[in-house]
Structure 1
Amino acid sequence: MSASINNGIIKLAATFSSCLSRASHPDCRATDIAALRAYLRLRERHLDYAAAHIQHMQKALTFMNLQLHHVVTDVTGATGMRIIRAIVAGERDPGVLAAMRDRNCRSSVEAIRAALVGNYLPEHVFALQQALALYDFYQTRVDECDAQIQRTLALLAADKPIPQEPLTKARNRAQQPNALSFDVRGLMYQLAGVDLTQIHGIGSYLAVRLVAECGTDLSRWPTAKHFTSWLTLSPGCKVSGGKVLSSHTRKTTNRVAALLRLAAVTVGKTSTALGAFYRRLAARIGKAKAVTATARKIAVLFYNAMRFGMQYADPGADHYEQRYKERAIKQLHRRAAEFGFCLQPAEGVS
């Protein structure tokens, strides 16, 4: 009897020990990354389905001659959803509906009231009710996915030490659309060891998606060039007989490359070094190539941050422009020296 009890205790201790070491086991970590990737892709699918029903709501409103989309930026925002839910509940007075305006809405109460004078036919109200119910259904599914994503991130970050330096303030405090419903920055900071959101173009949600697609161990790519080549963001090299036939990037269905291209388009509108880089290339070689080149730069920054713990600090657009000017002047001096000339700065020009 005592031998069986001892064997049972040993088995329980072994099970407890395996549970403690689960997060640090490479196979379990890969399993958790795969689970995180599956949850995020499922969440994206639910958001796509919800977006279709947003269009159905807008169509029903248009049939009722309610021009809500002209007075609010997003019909699924605070003002829009209050008004839509009130219409479905039976409210028809434009004044009462306009009074539901959120204080942050840019349109006035009078403009909203004028946009809500319609016919309210029963069949269109019914279509609006159906679309709203389906939208709420998928939003509930998204919240459930968020709970699973939070649990998986907590498992991945369980064996990671808490960084000594506190997490810096977010660069963008505005709530992003379709953002995760929990504090993802803290978990990602502990998991990655660096604040990936300090890289311009990478927000909290994009950082999670990049980690889910690439994993936390980027050593499988020896250098950043290997990583960008895998992403098909580096120039191609079709050579025949010593002649370069094409240097276009390869076509791909890589999700990470698509995400980084979207980030490059966004960062191109900012007053940052990456934004200045994008705008200069766009003016010289076109926007399509500028998007690819900027996406490659963001990919290199992400690789260096994840693998080597590099802390990114934006030097600013002015710093980039100054460096570009210095390189251009240096090139002009070199070309002039090749032809036997010496450049001199004009008087009064620095």
Structure 2
Amino acid sequence: MEDVVEFCVGLDVHRDTVVAAVRRPGRRGKRDVETRTFLTDSSGLLALGDWLIDEHVTRAGMESTGVYWKPVFYLLEDRIPEVWLLNAAHLKNVPGRKTDVGDAAWIAQLVEHGLVRPSFVPPSPIRELRDFTRHRRTLIEERTRAIPRLEKVLQDADVKLSSVASTILTKSGRAILNAMLAGEADPVVLADLSLGRMRSKIPQLQDALHGTFRVSHHGVLVKQMLAHIDFLDEQIEQIDAEIGARVMEYEPVLEQVQTIPGVGRKIAISLVAEIGVDMSVFPTPAHLASWAGICPGNNASGGKARSGRTRHGSIALRTVLTEAAQSAARTKGTYLAAHFHSIRSRRGTFKAIGATSHDILVAYWYIVHDDVDYIDLGPDWAVRRQGPEQQIARLVHQIEKLGREVTVTMPAA
């Protein structure tokens, strides 16, 4: 096994400390190893970087330990030519040799000989955009969870507003709730606060608003929940402004990605944030699908193929692709919708969602890599891609499965 890197370091990162093992050429063709431990505060990481520069280190490798690897990686990426973030599953050592120093030395050996592959870490602007888009999703999910809590309090007070209105947070619903918090208990007065199409349901509203709502009890809870929802709405608006400022340079890519059926602006922004716009990192669409965990793995031994489960890719990316696939499945006259329904009829909804997600991911790679718009193949692509003989054979087979015999006669030339 030949040496690949003369000066390299393996880093075993923890919350408070990082253990660094530097491998360098020694006497008589051997390799020397020096190990030091540094704190993970700013002064400790700066001292680590200075030491690695003094040791002429050209490649550093570290295990992706929670979020603790981030400050170490961010500091070293500007000072070391190559900084590798490594998948913990690829770094298994011999059992019984688990120590911090041993782990650092083992990582250094793997990095030295190139026996592991680095994980994809996007550049700083994409990382910032990713943080904002993920935080936005967290805020939206928290707001979604807050609405059923509000509904439970109203049900406890026997206020059946949700039985009449599609959602309790419409303008009419907010006006009614604000009046109830102000002490108004007359259902006739409350129902008269409805707006728009809700006014056609005033009799039903009057019946629904008869309840036991008490301002001293239910009102305290409802007031706090509404304030929490309003706070989340404000936070979402602010984070949207931050995201909008950061995606201005990616507008051409976003417009092209939105040509994919089922992909709107928010999904396009999330795709850019999770994948980036530099497709040179992924040589082919298959590499991107493998990294994202949107394709089956290989599991064969002794000439027998076993079930190959998909890898654990990014949960955020998988969620975005699932939303896009569900939207694409509802489109009319598109290849993605036809492909989804074709697979769902044979393999079920979950397999169809996975296949459609893969289609969207492959389309994203070609759009960004080739700087082109999405070109829809059409809903009949599965039939058109076959020759006449294949189509005839498929149709004959379907008729024969129904217990009939078919004779195909070709017209005279």
TM-score scaled by structure 1? 0.71
Which residue number in structure 2 is paired with residue 299 of structure 1? 361
> Taking every aligned residue pair, what percent have the same amino acid on both sides?
28
Aligned length in residues: 282
Match of 2:142 among 43, 49, 62: 49
Question: Residues 246-285 of structure 1 correspond to what in structure 2 (within 5 A)?
Answer: 246-271=307-332, 272-285=334-347
User: Quick one: which amino acid aligns to residue 237 of structure 2?
Assistant: D
Pair 253,313 (structure 1): closer, same or farther in 2 beyond 3 Å: closer
Which residue number in structure 1 is paired with residue 169 of structure 2? 76
Alpha-carbon deviations, 1:164-205, whole Å to 9, x = none?
Answer: xxxxxxxxxxxxxxxxxxxxxxxx5x3416432221221111
Pair 256,82 (structure 1): closer, same or farther in 2 beyond 3 Å: same
| Mapped pair 1:66 → 2:193 | no
Which residue number in structure 2 is paired with residue 236 of structure 1? 297
Which residue number in structure 1 is paired with residue 351 of structure 2? 289
Pair 263,194 (structure 1): closer, same or farther in 2 beyond 3 Å: closer
Pair 97,218 (structure 1): closer, same or farther in 2 beyond 3 Å: farther
Which residue number in structure 2 is paired with residue 131 of structure 1? 225
Which residue number in structure 2 is paired with residue 18 of structure 1? none
Alpha-carbon deviations, 1:107-147, whole Å to 9, x = none?
Answer: 72332332222122220121111111111112222222122
> Shift of residue 297 of structure 1?
0.6
User: RMSD between aligned alpha carbons?
Assistant: 3.2
CA distance in structure 1 between the aligned counterparts of 2:141 and 2:342, rounded to whole angstroms: 34
User: Quick one: which amino acid aligns to residue 231 of structure 1?
Assistant: A
CA distance in structure 1 between the aligned counterparts of 2:396 and 2:281, rounded to whole angstroms: 41
Is the 2:158–2:212 Cα contact (8 Å) retained in structure 1? yes
| Mapped pair 1:227 → 2:291 | no
Which residue number in structure 1 is paired with residue 190 of structure 2? 97
User: Quick one: which amino acid aligns to residue 195 of structure 1?
Assistant: Q
CA distance in structure 2 between the aligned counterparts of 1:112 and 1:320, rounded to whole angstroms: 51
Is the 2:146–2:229 Cα contact (8 Å) retained in structure 1? yes
Which residue number in structure 2 is paired with residue 166 of structure 1? none
Is the 1:60–1:125 Cα contact (8 Å) retained in structure 2? no
Is the 1:228–1:234 Cα contact (8 Å) retained in structure 2? yes
Which residue number in structure 1 is paired with residue 372 of structure 2? 310
CA distance in structure 2 between the aligned counterparts of 1:106 and 1:308, rounded to whole angstroms: 53
Unaligned runs of 5+ in 1: 1-26, 158-187, 336-340
Match of 2:237 among 143, 165, 169: 143
> Shift of residue 207 of structure 1?
0.8
Pair 55,322 (structure 1): closer, same or farther in 2 beyond 3 Å: same
Is the 1:228–1:300 Cα contact (8 Å) retained in structure 2? yes
User: Quick one: which amino acid aligns to residue 127 of structure 1?
Assistant: L
Unaligned runs of 5+ in 2: 1-77, 79-121, 398-404
Q: Which has the higher strand share?
A: 2
Alpha-carbon deviations, 1:210-248, whole Å to 9, x = none?
Answer: 111111212211111111111111122111123212233
TM-score scaled by structure 2? 0.61
Alpha-carbon deviations, 1:2-51, whole Å to 9, x = none?
Answer: xxxxxxxxxxxxxxxxxxxxxxxxx9x93222111111222222223323
Alpha-carbon deviations, 1:78-113, whole Å to 9, x = none?
Answer: 333332233223333333333343425597233233
User: Quick one: which amino acid aligns to residue 311 of structure 1?
Assistant: D
Higher RCO structure (Cα 8 Å, ≥6 apart): 1
Match of 2:408 among 341, 344, 349: 344
